[in-house]
C-alpha cells in the first residue's frame, strides 16, 4: 500500500479521495488508517483487511456464528437475499466438507464482491463471476488488493512486455492477468486464490453443467433468467440506495423489464447526452420510462453550465486520478464520460446492464458461429494490441491456450464466451470500475446461474438478437414496441428531433 500513499504525497492528491471504495489484504497491521486516508482495519487469522470505510465489508459467519472470513462488496445470495450485516454459511468450521459447502454457497452469489475465507483448512479468496470487483495479487509480498498501487510497498517494477504509454492511451490493453508491474497479477474469476500457496484453482464450471440446450430447455432457461434477474434487481434496490442509467439498447431494457415490480424503490433513472448517438439513447429512455410511469432525468453533459468541467487543468487531474485508481489501466475514459459520471444522480450504488452482452454472442462474428475454436481469433478478442499478427500469436498464444485448457470438457465449445467473462471483462470493465469513484457500480447479471443459462443457448441463436427480445417479451412485453437506438437512428426524422432537443 505504501506505493499508493507515496504517490498521493508526491502528486499532492488526497489518498482517501483517490482510492475511495478500495481495499488491501496484507500480513502487516500497518495501513492507511495509521496515517492519512482514514481507512478501517479488520484482522483475522494473521491477515489484516485494510479498507475505505465507504466500501461495504461484513463478516462471513459459520452456523455457530464464528467468524470465518470477510465479505467485501455487495451481493445477493442464491436464495435472493441481499448480503448486509453478514454472509451466513450453512456449515460449521472444522467439520468435514466445510470448504466444499462454503464454496457452493459462494458460487451462487450474484453481484460485485470478493470473499476472503480465513477458516482452518480453508484460507482462500473467491471472486465474483466476472471480476467486477477487481483484485490483483502480489505473490512475492503476500498481498492482494483492489488495484495495483495498493498491492505494492516497493517501487513499481515495469512489466516490459507492454507499451505502457499505449495502454494509458487505450490503443493497447493489459490482458491475460498482466498489470503494469511484473510482480503483480490480476486474478481470474471463477477461480479461488489459495492464501497458503498463492496459486489459483478453478472452481466453476465444474464440468457437469448443461451448456448445450435444446430449444425447449433454452426457453425454460430464459424464464429462469427473467426470474433471477428480477430477484437480484429487487433485492438490491430494496436494500441499497440505487440509481439506474437507462439507454436505448438491450441491456438496461432487460434490467428494467425484469425488475419492473421493484422500480418504485429506485432513487433515480437517468440518461446522459454526451454526443449525438447518446442523444438517441436519451430519447428512447424517455419513452421507456414514460411507459413505466417512472421519473427520468436527462443530463446534458455538453450544456453550457458544465463548461468549467472541461477546463484543461481539471481534465488532466481527473484523468490522472482515474489512472492512479485503476493501476494505470487507462488515462481515464474520454473526458465527457468522466464528467457524465460526476453529474449522475448521487446514489450509493449504480446498477448497470453490462455482462448481458453475452446474450447476443458478442464475442463471435457471422463467420465463426459454428466454427471450431481458433486461437488467433480468440486472442484478437482480448484486444491487447490493435492487430493480432503472427508475432502476437507467438508471444501471447501459449498463455491464452494455458488458460483455455483449464476449462472442463463441457465448456470447450464456449471458449470465446468464457474468455469474455474471465479475460476480457476483468481487464476492461472490472479493471476500470474503480475509476468511477462517485458510486459503487455493479451489474445484477453478474451471476453464475444466469451465465450458465445464457451459455446453454447456441451462439448462432444468441447472435440473431432473439434472446434479448425474448427476455423483454416474457418480462414486460409492452417494452418491445419501442425501438432500440440502432433502429431509431435509421429514421431521418429522428435525427432532426435529436438536433432540436440538444443542438
pLDDT band for 279, please (50, 70, 90 cuts). confident
Map residue 255 onto helix, strand or coil: helix
Q: Considering only CA atoms, which of 334, 356, 332 is closest in space to residue 444? A: 356
The pTM assigned to this predicted structure is 0.95
Whether pLDDT at 205 is above 70: yes
pLDDT band for 368, please (50, 70, 90 cuts). very high
pLDDT band for 36, please (50, 70, 90 cuts). low
pLDDT in tens, 137-147: 999 999 999 99
Q: Identify the weakest region by mean pLDDT among 146-150, 316-320, 326-330, 494-498.
A: 494-498
Residues 46, 195: Cα–Cα separation, whole Å: 11
pLDDT band for 502, please (50, 70, 90 cuts). low
Contact 33, 50 (CB under 8 A): yes
**How confident is the model over 390-406, as a mean pLDDT?**
96
Map residue 114 onto helix, strand or coil: strand
Q: Identify the weakest region by mean pLDDT among 28-37, 183-192, 250-259.
A: 28-37
Dihedral class, residue 214 (left if φ above 0, else alpha if ψ from -120 to 50, else beta):
beta
Confidence (pLDDT) at 299: 92
pLDDT in tens, 87-122: 999 999 999 999 999 999 999 999 999 999 999 999
pLDDT band for 278, please (50, 70, 90 cuts). confident
User: What DSSP assignment string belongs to 77-94?
Assistant: -TTSPBP-SEEE-SS-TT
pLDDT in tens, 233-263: 999 999 999 999 999 999 999 999 999 999 9
pLDDT in tens, 466-499: 999 999 999 999 999 998 888 877 777 777 777 6
Confidence (pLDDT) at 276: 79
Confidence (pLDDT) at 33: 60
- Give the distance, in angstroms, between the CA of residue 474 and the centroid of all CA atoms in the same chain: 26
DSSP 121: T
Confidence (pLDDT) at 500: 67
Phi, psi of 346, rounded to the nearest 5 degrees: -75, 125
Whether pLDDT at 3 is above 90: yes
Contact 356, 250 (CB under 8 A): yes
Confidence (pLDDT) at 421: 98
Report the run of H or E that residue 419 belongs to, with start and end: helix 415-419
Per-residue cell: 356? 448481458
Residues sharing a CB contact under 8 Å with residue 317, sequence separation 6 or more, in sequence order: none
pLDDT in tens, 46-68: 999 999 999 999 999 999 999 99
**How confident is the model over 222-237, as a mean pLDDT?**
98
How high is the mean pLDDT of the chain? 93
Map residue 202 onto helix, strand or coil: strand
Contact 331, 320 (CB under 8 A): yes
pLDDT in tens, 12-25: 999 999 999 999 99
Domains and CATH numbers, the chain: 2-202 (3.60.20), 216-354+434-502 (3.40.50.620), 358-426 (no CATH)
Q: Identify the weakest region by mean pLDDT among 130-134, 185-189, 270-274.
A: 270-274
Q: Which residue's C-alpha cell is 435472493?
A: 80
Whether pLDDT at 181 is above 80: yes
pLDDT band for 34, please (50, 70, 90 cuts). low
Percent of the chain with pLDDT over 90: 81
Report the run of H or E that residue 201 belongs to, with start and end: strand 200-202
Whether pLDDT at 35 is above 80: no
Confidence (pLDDT) at 489: 77
Contact 145, 22 (CB under 8 A): yes
Amino acid at each position: 500500500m505504501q506505493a499508493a500513499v507515496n504517490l498521493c504525497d508526491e502528486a499532492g492528491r488526497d489518498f482517501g479521495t483517490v482510492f475511495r471504495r478500495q481495499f488491501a489484504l496484507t500480513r502487516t497491521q500497518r495501513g492507511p488508517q495509521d496515517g492519512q486516508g482514514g481507512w478501517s482495519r479488520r484482522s483475522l487469522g494473521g491477515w489484516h483487511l485494510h479498507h475505505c470505510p465507504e466500501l461495504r465489508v461484513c463478516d462471513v459467519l459459520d452456523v455457530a456464528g464464528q467468524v470465518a472470513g470477510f465479505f467485501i462488496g455487495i451481493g445477493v445470495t442464491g436464495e435472493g437475499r441481499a448480503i448486509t450485516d453478514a454472509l451466513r454459511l450453512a456449515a460449521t468450521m472444522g467439520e468435514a466438507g466445510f470448504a466444499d459447502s462454503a464454496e457452493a454457497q459462494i458460487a451462487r452469489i450474484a453481484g460485485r464482491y470478493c470473499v476472503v475465507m480465513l477458516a482452518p483448512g480453508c484460507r482462500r479468496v473467491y471472486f465474483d463471476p466476472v471480476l467486477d470487483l477487481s483484485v490483483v495479487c502480489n505473490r512475492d509480498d503476500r498481498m492482494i488488493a483492489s488495484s495495483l498501487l495498493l498491492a505494492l510497498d516497493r517501487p513499481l517494477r515495469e512489466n516490459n512486455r507492454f507499451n505502457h504509454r499505449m495502454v494509458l492511451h487505450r490503443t493497447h490493453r493489459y490482458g491475460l492477468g498482466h498489470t503494469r508491474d511484473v510482480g503483480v497479477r490480476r486474478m481470474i474469476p471463477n477461480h479461488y486464490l489459495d492464501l497458503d500457496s498463492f496459486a489459483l484453482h478453478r472452481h466453476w464450471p465444474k464440468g457437469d453443467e448443461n451448456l448445450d440446450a435444446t430449444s425447449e430447455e433454452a426457453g425454460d432457461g430464459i424464464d429462469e433468467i427473467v426470474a433471477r434477474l428480477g430477484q437480484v434487481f429487487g433485492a438490491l434496490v430494496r436494500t441499497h440506495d440505487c440509481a439506474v442509467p437507462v439507454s436505448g439498447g438491450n441491456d438496461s431494457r432487460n434490467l428494467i423489464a425484469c425488475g419492473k415490480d421493484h422500480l418504485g424503490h429506485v432513487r433515480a433513472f437517468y440518461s446522459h447526452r454526451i454526443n449525438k448517438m447518446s442523444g438517441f439513447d436519451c430519447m428512447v429512455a424517455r419513452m421507456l420510462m414514460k411507459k413505466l410511469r417512472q421519473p427520468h432525468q436527462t443530463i446534458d453533459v455538453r450544456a453550457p453550465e458544465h463548461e468549467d468541467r472541461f477546463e484543461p487543468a481539471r481534465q488532466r487531474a481527473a484523468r490522472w486520478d482515474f489512472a492512479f485508481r485503476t493501476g494505470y489501466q487507462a488515462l481515464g475514459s474520454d473526458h465527457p464520460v468522466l464528467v457524465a459520471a460526476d453529474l449522475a444522480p448521487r446514489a450509493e450504488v449504480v446498477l448497470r446492464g453490462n455482462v448481458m452482452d453475452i446474450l447476443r454472442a458478442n464475442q463471435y462474428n457471422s463467420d465463426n458461429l459454428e466454427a471450431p475454436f481458433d486461437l488467433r481469433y480468440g486472442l484478437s478478442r482480448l484486444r491487447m494490441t490493435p492487430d493480432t499478427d503472427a508475432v502476437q500469436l507467438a508471444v501471447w498464444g501459449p498463455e491464452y491456450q494455458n488458460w483455455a485448457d483449464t476449462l472442463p470438457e463441457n465448456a470447450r465449445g464456449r471458449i470465446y464466451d468464457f474468455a469474455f467473462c474471465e479475460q476480457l471483462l476483468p481487464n476492461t470493465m472490472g479493471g476500470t470500475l474503480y475509476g468511477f469513484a462517485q458510486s459503487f457500480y455493479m451489474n445484477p447479471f453478474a451471476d453464475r446461474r444466469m451465465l450458465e443459462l445464457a451459455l446453454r443457448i447456441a451462439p448462432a441463436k444468441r447472435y440473431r438478437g432473439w434472446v434479448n427480445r425474448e427476455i423483454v417479451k416474457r418480462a414486460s412485453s409492452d417494452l418491445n414496441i419501442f425501438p432500440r437506438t440502432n433502429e431509431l437512428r435509421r429514421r431521418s426524422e429522428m435525427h432532426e428531433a435529436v438536433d432540436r432537443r440538444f443542438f
